[in-house]
Amino acid sequence: MQSYARLLVETDVFGDVDDVGALAVAHHLADVGRCEIIAIGVNTPSRFGSQTVRVVNRWYGRPGIPVGGLLPLDDSVFELDYAKTIAETHATEGERAEPLPAVQVHRRALGESDDGSVTVVSLGFLNNLRDLLESAPDEHSPLDGRELVGRKVRRAVVMGGYFPTGHEYNITEDIPAAQAFVETWPTPVDFLGWEVGAPVVTGKRISTQDGVIGDAYRAYNGAGTGRESWDLLAMHAAITDDPELYRSSAPGTVEIDATGRTTFHAVAGGAHRFISLACPPEVAAAALDRILDAAPALAAH
């Protein structure tokens, strides 16, 4: 089981509350010494995404985590944009400031990291990570993006795709970015597909409680309802590799066709794997709900 992770997180906070749930998982595991969050990028132009990430970071007592965005920001938000509710209810004036570009934030975080020390967790579209790979040397590193990732990143965990084959939203909404990622990312990648998170419903209890996380779940789909746990599982698996909850496929490669369909091909020595549950869905849900229900240790609200 992995003992410690330094996390660079990509999230599409705007239209599904499992992103906030995943950030809660990361912060709780940081509270208990399992990880450190070094940077977070938002991969949609929603002006409320970065604000909500900052609110969650402050809720858990870590307001200093660098947060980057996909610029320019705009109001093209999903109709169930719970992030707008969280931002308007909880964000401070400073948290409403426009973020730096995510690629710049990520290059700085990677440039300051030891070689092979970073785990990248992608919870959304792959545009920022594609742009990171294509980035040029700068003041943060003399390496280009692909060289920088190859040197600093140990592995990536992606919530995306459907395995062994199928369509999933995070891939189909930006197919060129997803194709570029799978074809050029220079480290091992583990994918957690739609089929894994769909039967794992979490957040029913926290959605009835006061606080940022409870408010987010309640704003998304009401008190006591809960939500499928795609992003929470990807985050938890990336940090813990808990063999009681998760298993990985044999090595292979993931192919993405012109329609966004992901297909896994088993290949000896391949850089890709896909994650599945090693337990009943209700067991995984209970483990995640215990994390969501835990009070922030640093309590700097």
Domain edges within the chain = 5-293
Q: Is it the case that residue 79 has pLDDT exceeding 80?
A: no
Q: Contact, 21 vs 227, CB < 8 A?
A: yes
The pLDDT score that the predictor gives to residue 2 is 55
Q: Contact, 149 vs 133, CB < 8 A?
A: yes
| Strand residue runs (E) in the chain | 5-11, 35-42, 67-69, 100-101, 118-123, 153-159, 165-166, 189-192, 201-202, 227-228, 246-248, 252-256, 262-266, 272-277
Q: Is it the case that residue 5 has pLDDT exceeding 60?
A: yes
Query: What value does the CA radius of gyration of the chain take, rounded to a whole number of Å?
Result: 18
Distances in Å between the Cα of 60 and the Cα atoms of 31, 54, 238, 293 are 9, 10, 20, 13
Contacts of 236 (CB under 8 A, 6+ apart): 25, 29, 242, 245, 287, 288, 291
The pLDDT score that the predictor gives to residue 248 is 98
For residue range 98-143, what is the model confidence (pLDDT) as tens digits? Answer: 999 999 999 999 999 999 999 999 999 999 999 999 999 999 999 9
Q: Does 5-293 carry CATH code 2.40.160.20?
A: no
Q: Contact, 10 vs 102, CB < 8 A?
A: yes
Q: Per residue in 32-41, is it b (16+ CB within 10 Å) or e — as a string?
A: eebbbbbbbb
Helix (H, G, I), strand (E, B) or coil at 141: strand
The pLDDT score that the predictor gives to residue 298 is 87
Is the sign of the CA dihedral 218, 77, 123, 33 positive or negative? negative
Which residues, in sequence order, are bridge partners of residue 273?
Answer: 190
Q: Which residue has the higher pLDDT, 47 or 68?
A: 68
Q: Contact, 18 vs 197, CB < 8 A?
A: yes
Q: How far apart are CA 250 and CA 270, in angstroms?
A: 9
Percent of the chain that is helix, strand, coil (3-state, to 5): 40, 20, 40
12 band by pLDDT with thresholds 50, 70 and 90:
very high
The pLDDT score that the predictor gives to residue 1 is 47
Q: How far apart are CA 287 and CA 301, in angstroms?
A: 25
For residue range 232-291, what is the model confidence (pLDDT) as tens digits? Answer: 999 999 999 999 999 999 999 999 999 999 999 999 999 999 999 999 999 999 999 999
The pLDDT score that the predictor gives to residue 282 is 98
Q: How far apart are CA 143 and CA 135, in angstroms?
A: 9
